Amino acid sequence: MTIQSENRLRTILVLLVLLIIIVLLLGIIVWWLLLRPSCPPNCTGESLSGINLTSHQEYAGANLSGANLAGRDLVGINLSGANLTKADLSGANLSGANLSATDLGAADMTGANLNQTNLGEANLSEVNLLGSNLSEADMCEANLSEADLSEADLSKADLTEANLTNANLSRAKLNGANLTGVNLNGANLAKAIYNQETIWVEGFDPAAAGAVREKKWLFF
């Protein structure tokens, strides 16, 4: 074999190796962008900034403790039974989501949209729900002890048998809310708004607790 033939063969081999490397790199890129597994069920402490956690998806039972989901669009997502303790959900849109039996202890849900969200039997102890939208939410038997619900909108929310011990409901909107069987021991209802459709615990006097009945203005 001549020197020229050897050089040509060596060049071909180098090109083949480079081609294989390129194909492998392309395969890795495709896997990363399209086929890589999502973070759940275990995302403890993850920022999730690069995770494809999207609305209307199933993440039941996922471990998202300490996750940063601030401002995320999570409409209709299923996080039932998930661990979201100390997670940042401030400003997140969880409208219509399933958070039943979810552990949200000490989570930050400031300004979150939880309209028509299922929070039945969820643990919301010490959760910050300042200014959140919980209108028409299902919160039956939820644990809201020491939660901050100040200035939250709870219009037509179902709080039947919920635990609101030492919760802050100051300036919250409770028009049409159902508080049947709710534990309000130590709850702060200063300047909370309610109307004639609000259902209170039997024998409870909202006015004596500092709540204010919404006035109806008649215009002729």
Domain boundaries, the chain: 1-36, 40-220
pLDDT of residue 220: 45
Name the phi and psi angles at 145, rounded to 5.
-60, 130
Measure the CA–CA gap between 179 and 197, rounded to whole angstroms.
11
Selecting from 3.30.980, 1.10.3470, 2.160.20, 1.20.120, what CATH number does the domain 40-220 have? 2.160.20
Question: pLDDT tens, position by position, for the chain (220 residues)?
Answer: 566 677 777 888 888 888 899 988 888 887 656 544 455 555 554 444 445 566 677 888 999 999 999 999 999 999 999 999 999 999 999 999 999 999 999 999 999 999 999 999 999 999 999 999 999 999 999 999 999 999 999 999 999 999 999 999 999 999 999 999 999 999 999 999 999 999 999 999 999 999 999 987 655 4
Query: Which runs of consecutive H residues, i.e. helices, occur in the chain?
Result: 3-30
pLDDT of residue 177: 98
Measure the CA–CA gap between 209 and 203, rounded to whole angstroms.
12
CB 189 within 8 A of CB 170: yes
CB 153 within 8 A of CB 132: yes
pLDDT of residue 71: 95
Name the phi and psi angles at 32, rounded to 5.
-65, -40
pLDDT of residue 41: 54
Using alpha carbons, select from 96, 101, 164, 93 the residue that is nearest to residue 127.
Answer: 164
Residue 189's contacts (CB-CB under 8 Å, 6 or more residues apart) are 169, 170, 172, 206, 209, 210, 211
CA distances (Å), origin 104, targets 63, 89, 126, 142, 171: 11, 10, 9, 11, 23
